[in-house]
C-alpha cells in the first residue's frame, strides 16, 4: 500500500495534536486560531490518519476540532454571505464537479471531497473566528511570533544540512542542495512552499509598525523571520514574490490612482509583447529568475504558460487528464502528467476555463473590496488604512507565487486565512467606521455588498 494511503502518526505527533486540540477547544475565541496556525507551521503532511480511504492530515484534523469548537460553544453565529464568500463556494462546487466529470472515478470524487473540505472548512472556520478589524490585527501579531521558531529551525537546518522536522515524516532528513546551496524547507513539503510562506506574510508584518509599542516588536520579529525564511529557501519564486510585496507596499502613495497604474501596466506589457520582445511577454519571468540566480527554472515557469496556451483546445472545457506530450518535465509519480508549476494553469488543467476564471475572480473581488474600503475610509487612521493596504500587498505576493508554484501543502492554510482576513476586515471597516452617506455613489453597490458581511458583529461573543 502506498505511504500516502496508510495511517502514520508517531508519539510526538499524537501528543502535539492532543495538546493543540485541547487549546483549540479551551482558549477564548480571540486566541482559538493560535493552535491552528502553530499546527500548520510545525507539523508536516507526513503525520496523517487514513479512515476508509479518506486522508486526514494533522492539518485537516485540527480544522475538524476547530469546527467542533465553534458548534459546541455556540459561536456559529448568523453569517450573510458577501461576494467573496459566494465566489469561493462557487469555485469549490464548480471545480469539484468538473474534476469528477473529467476522471469519472470514485478516487476523483474522494479527491474533490478533500479539496472541498480544505477550502470551505478552512475559509469559513477563519471567517467565524475572525469577526472584526481588531481580530484581524491580533491574528497577524500571532503569526509574527509563531514563525520565529520556524525561522530559527530553518537556520539550524541550513547550518547542519539536516531537517529537524523529518521526525514527523513527509520531508527528507537531508536538506536538498542545488547549485551548491542548501534549500531549506522546514515542515513544508518543498522549499518553494516554505519560502512562499515568508514572502506572503512579509507585507502584513510591515504594516504592524504603525501599531507602536508591542506592534513594533511584532513587526520586527515577523519581518526578520519571514525574510530569513525566504532567504533560506534559496528559491527564486519566493524571492520574486517577496519583491512583488515590496512593490505593492511602495504603491501606497498612488493608492488613489491604482486603476490608471493597473491599466498602464497592462498597456506596457502589450506594447512590449508586440514590439520589442522577441519571445512572448511571459518570458520576462525567465529574465527575472535569471537575475536572482535561478538559471533555467524561470524559463520553465514561462514555458508552462506557453504550453498551456498552445494546448488550450485540450483543457478549456473541463480540464485534461493527459499532458505528458507537452514540452515539459513529466512527473515520475504520474507519468501521464507534466509538472505544472503554476496555480492558474493548474486550475485550468483540473477544471477547465470556468474553474480558472472563478479562481481569478476571487482575487479580483478581494482587490476590489480592499480598494472600496480604502476609498470609504479615507478619513480614518493611518494605522487602519495601512493594515488594509498590506492585505492587498500580501494578496499580490500570492498572485506572484502562483506563477511559480501550485499550492499543495500547508501553505493553503495561509492562503485561505488571508482571504478570510480581507473579507472580514473590509466588511467590518465599512460597517463600523463609515456612515452610509460617506461613500461616493459609484461605490454604493460595493459598500452594500460589504455590509452584508457584518450582520453577526453586533451580537458576537468575545
Between CA 204 and CA 61 the distance in angstroms is 27
Name the region of 337 (left: φ>0; alpha: ψ -120 to 50; beta: rest): beta
Between CA 437 and CA 120 the distance in angstroms is 34
Q: How many CB atoms lie within 10 A of CB 123?
A: 20
Domain membership of residue 34 (yes or no) is no
Domain membership of residue 160 (yes or no) is yes
- Give the residue-averaged pLDDT of 217-224: 95
Domain membership of residue 211 (yes or no) is yes
Domain membership of residue 393 (yes or no) is yes
Q: Which residues partner with 55 through β-bridges? A: 50
> Is 251's pLDDT higher than 70?
yes
Domain carrying residue 380: 79-266+334-454
pLDDT for res 448: 53
Q: What percent of the chain shows pLDDT beyond 70?
A: 90
Residues 6 or more apart whose CB falls under 8 angstroms from that of 43 comprise 13, 16, 17, 58, 59, 168, 187
Between CA 145 and CA 82 the distance in angstroms is 31
DSSP string, 149-165: HHHHHHHHHHHHSB-GG
pLDDT for res 68: 96
Which of 91, 118, 40 has the alpha carbon at shortest distance from 350? Answer: 91
b/e code 137-167 from CB counts within 10 Å (16+ = b): bbbbbbbbebbeebbebbbebbeeeebebbe
pTM of the model: 0.90
Residues 102 and 319: beta-carbon distance below 8 Å: yes
Q: Which of 142-146, 183-187, 250-254 has the lowest mean pLDDT?
A: 250-254
Per-residue pLDDT of 147-179, as tens digits, reads: 999 999 999 999 999 999 999 999 999 999 988
Q: How many CB atoms lie within 10 A of CB 359?
A: 22
Which of 454, 452, 457, 439 has the alpha carbon at shortest distance from 372? Answer: 439
User: Which range has the top average pLDDT, 60-64, 267-271, 274-278?
Assistant: 60-64
Q: How many distinct structural domains can be found in the chain?
A: 1
> Is 439's pLDDT higher than 50?
no
Confidence band (pLDDT; 50, 70, 90) for 292?
Answer: low
Domain membership of residue 285 (yes or no) is no
Cell 495601512 maps to which residue? 386
Domain membership of residue 394 (yes or no) is yes
The CA-based angle 28-33-38, given to 5 degrees, is 125
Between CA 134 and CA 10 the distance in angstroms is 38
Which of 133, 197, 200 has the alpha carbon at shortest distance from 386? Answer: 133
Burial zone of 296 (CB within 10 Å; 0-12 exposed, 13-18 middle, 19+ buried): exposed
Domain membership of residue 151 (yes or no) is yes
Domain membership of residue 19 (yes or no) is no
How distant is the alpha carbon of residue 127 from its chain centre?
A: 15
- Give the residue-averaged pLDDT of 249-261: 88
Amino acid at each position: 500500500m502506498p505511504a500516502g494511503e496508510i495511517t502514520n502518526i508517531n508519539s510526538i505527533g499524537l501528543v502535539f495534536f492532543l495538546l493543540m486540540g485541547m487549546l483549540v477547544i479551551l482558549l477564548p475565541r480571540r486566541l482559538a486560531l493560535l493552535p491552528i496556525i502553530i499546527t500548520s507551521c510545525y507539523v508536516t503532511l507526513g503525520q496523517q490518519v487514513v479512515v476508509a480511504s479518506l486522508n486526514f492530515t494533522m492539518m485537516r484534523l485540527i480544522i475538524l476540532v476547530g469546527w467542533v469548537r465553534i458548534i459546541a460553544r455556540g459561536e456559529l453565529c448568523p453569517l450573510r454571505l458577501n461576494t467573496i464568500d459566494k465566489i469561493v463556494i462557487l469555485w469549490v462546487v464548480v471545480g469539484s464537479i468538473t474534476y469528477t466529470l473529467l476522471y469519472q472515478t470514485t478516487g476523483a470524487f474522494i479527491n474533490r471531497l478533500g479539496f472541498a473540505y480544505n477550502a470551505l472548512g478552512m475559509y469559513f472556520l477563519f471567517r467565524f473566528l475572525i469577526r472584526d478589524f481588531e481580530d484581524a490585527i491580533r491574528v497577524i501579531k500571532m503569526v509574527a511570533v509563531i514563525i520565529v521558531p520556524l525561522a530559527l529551525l530553518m537556520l539550524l537546518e541550513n547550518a547542519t544540512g539536516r531537517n529537524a522536522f523529518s521526525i514527523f515524516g513527509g520531508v527528507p532528513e537531508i536538506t536538498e542542495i542545488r547549485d551548491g546551496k542548501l534549500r531549506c524547507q522546514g515542515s513544508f513539503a518543498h522549499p518553494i512552499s516554505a519560502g512562499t510562506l515568508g514572502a506572503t506574510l512579509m507585507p502584513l508584518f510591515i504594516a504592524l509598525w504603525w501599531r507602536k509599542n508591542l506592534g513594533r516588536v511584532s513587526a520586527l520579529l515577523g519581518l526578520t523571520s519571514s525574510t530569513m525564511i525566504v532567504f533560506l529557501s534559496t528559491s527564486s519564486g519566493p524571492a520574486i514574490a517577496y519583491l512583488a510585496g515590496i512593490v505593492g507596499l511602495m504603491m501606497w502613495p498612488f493608492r488613489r490612482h491604482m486603476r490608471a497604474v493597473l491599466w498602464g501596466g497592462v498597456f506596457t506589457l502589450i506594447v512590449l509583447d508586440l514590439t520589442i520582445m522577441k519571445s512572448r511577454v511571459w518570458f520576462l519571468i525567465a529574465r527575472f529568475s535569471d537575475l536572482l540566480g535561478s538559471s533555467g527554472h524561470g524559463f520553465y515557469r514561462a514555458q508552462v504558460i506557453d504550453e498551456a496556451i498552445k494546448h488550450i483546445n485540450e483543457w478549456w472545457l473541463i480540464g485534461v487528464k493527459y499532458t505528458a506530450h507537452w514540452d515539459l518535465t513529466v512527473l515520475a509519480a504520474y507519468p501521464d502528467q507534466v509538472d505544472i508549476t503554476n496555480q492558474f494553469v493548474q486550475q485550468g488543467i483540473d477544471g477547465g476555463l470556468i474553474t480558472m476564471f472563478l479562481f481569478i475572480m476571487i482575487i479580483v473581488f478581494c482587490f476590489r473590496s480592499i480598494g472600496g474600503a480604502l476609498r470609504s475610509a479615507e478619513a480614518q487612521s493611518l494605522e487602519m488604512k495601512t493594515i488594509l493596504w498590506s492585505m492587498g500587498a500580501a494578496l499580490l505576493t500570492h498572485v506572484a507565487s502562483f506563477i511559480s508554484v501550485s499550492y499543495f501543502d500547508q501553505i493553503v492554510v495561509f492562503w485561505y486565512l488571508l482571504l478570510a482576513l480581507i473579507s472580514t476586515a473590509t466588511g467590518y471597516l465599512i460597517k463600523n467606521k463609515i456612515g452610509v452617506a460617506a461613500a461616493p455613489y459609484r461605490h454604493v453597490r460595493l459598500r452594500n455588498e460589504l455590509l452584508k458581511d457584518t450582520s453577526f458583529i453586533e451580537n458576537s461573543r468575545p
